[in-house]
Structure 1
Amino acid sequence: MSSQKTWRIKPFLDRSCNSTLAFERFSRVTRVNQVARIEWTDAVYKMARSGRGLLTSFIANRRGIASLEFALIALPFFAILFAIFQIGIVYLADNLLETATEKAARQLLTGQVQNAGLTASQFTSAICPNLPVFFTCPSGVMVDLQDVSSFSSANLSAPTLTYDSNGKVTNNWQFQTGGAASILVLRVMYQFPVYLGPLGLNLANLSNGKRLLMSTAVFQVEPYNLQGAGN
């Protein structure tokens, strides 16, 4: 009877042992997975923390910041500087041309040119000493002198320049010195070289990429004594 009971209990004990072993194996695997998960979480946290540290260190690092800031503003800064310089040169040239035209008109106003019998080329050459050295004179200076019937008929607009195949101006300019009490219109013109600047700056108003500077004087010649004539 006793052996029979032992035989009946043994399968139960075997099943209990197998269950215990399986539970221990499952627990061991679970602990390994938990340890691996914890280690992986710590590694990710350390990597994130290290990344934040590098980013914070990069942002806080002020070395070379002046060079970086200058590199960002250098292009617009030099573009504006170039534009200011070129506009200043153009206005300076225009003002100097205006002054030279006034002095030349004064010689016509008082009859000095008429008495001297100057030709167009001689009159143009007489303007050159009053122009700065960066003007190509007399070859680059154009003079148009017209004798008109009244002040209202004076043409003050800029002419349309025409060119030959070599880029030389082909307009026919007049040189009418008139006499005492004549109403004269003097136009002195010059093709000033300009350059296309950054930010869309373009001061050219001619098809050849230059800017036409023109100074105009309208006046009535004063009474004057002809050279060699008696009073």
Structure 2
Amino acid sequence: MPYPALFRRLWANRDGGVAMEFAFVAPPFVALVLGILHIALIYMAQEGLETAVENAARLVMTGAAQSMTTGTNSAAGMSATDFKSAVCSGISGKDSNGNAVTYSGVLPPFLTCDRLTVNVQVVPTGCTSPTITVPVYTYDKTTGKLTGTSAGYGTVSCDGTSTGTNGIGSTQGKLVIMQLAYLWPTVSGPLGVNFVNQNYGNNRLLVATYTFTVEQYLCPTDPSTGVAQTC
């Protein structure tokens, strides 16, 4: 067959055209689907964290965290460890009336406590422009988890410098800033799709913040003295 006729037949042949078109369209289509999936998971995690911080804030807003006596603390008020346990898995103790009470954890099951940082700061009276400090994270490359995640649980100066980490003390009528920060594991996708915003590991930092004023609440009475404790 003469070459010109062969070239004309090849030019007119449309076999495999769909496969060629799919080869051009498939990579960006797959990248788009993966991007949508990652965004959906990130939004799900963010909404779960937002719900958790709202529910956790109620423990402080109503005075439950300040007046509760736990098994690890004879004095009134949750410690930083107690409060994080209450957020993650729940906690049991006695309320201001001496009755046994249990609070369920507020963290969604698809979020793990070892990637969570709890930051609670009580703004001092008279501070009109409070500043919340950013928690410092230490990432363990071996385990892929955070270490040293107790960011703050106490009073702060007006510029956000922490002045206490053991407990939040008496907070009635005071402004409190609560922050839950979470390292959400993610990966880099094809065609430059990337949702990682941290320098360590394939993680995206999610933050949920809730600001509120603490209500009036009842402090428990010390059974040995009959005097109300400071909470």
TM-score (norm 1): 0.67
Q: Does residue 223 of structure 1 match 2:216? A: yes
Counterpart amino acid of residue 123 in structure 1: F
* Matched positions, count: 180
**C-alpha distance in structure 1 between counterparts of 2:81 and 2:149, whole Å:** 15
Structure 2 matches for 1:198-213, cutoff 5 A?
A: 198-209=190-201, 210-213=203-206
Q: State percent identity of aligned pairs.
A: 37
Retained in 2: the 8 A contact 1:155–1:185? Answer: no
The aligned residue for residue 73 of structure 2 is none
Q: Does 1:54 align with 2:6?
A: yes
The structural deviation recorded for 1:183 is 1.7
Instruction: Describe the shift of the 1:57–1:125 C-alpha distance in structure 2 as closer, same or farther (beyond 3 A).
Output: farther
CA–CA distance in 2 between the matches of 1:211 and 1:109?
A: 29
Give 1:169's aligned residue: 147
Paired AA for residue 137 in structure 2 = L
Q: Deviations over 1:69-122 (max 9, x none)?
A: 111211111112112211221122112101110111122111121122333233
Using the alignment, how far apart are the partners of 1:67 and 1:121 within structure 2? 59
Q: Deviations over 1:157-202 (max 9, x none)?
A: 6434345786743465221234211221111111111211223232
1:215 deviates by 1.1
Query: For residues 221 and 169 of structure 1, do their structure 2 counterparts lie closer, same or farther at Cα, with a shift above 3 Å needed?
Result: same
Q: Which amino acid aligns with 2:37?
A: F
Give 1:130's match in structure 2, choosing from 91, 106, 113: 106
Does 2:122 match 1:147? yes
In structure 1, runs of 5+ residues without a counterpart are 1-46
Q: For the residues of structure 1 that align with 2:23 and 2:141, how far apart are their CA atoms?
A: 45
Greater percentage in helix: 1
Q: CA RMSD in A?
A: 2.5
Q: Which runs of 4+ in 1 moved over 6 A?
A: none
The answer to whether the Cα contact below 8 Å between 1:164 and 1:170 also exists between their aligned partners in 2 is no
Query: Which of the two has greater strand per residue?
Result: 2
What is the TM-score normalised by the length of structure 2?
A: 0.67
- When residues 58 and 152 of structure 1 are mapped into structure 2, their CA distance, relative to the original with a 3 A threshold, is farther
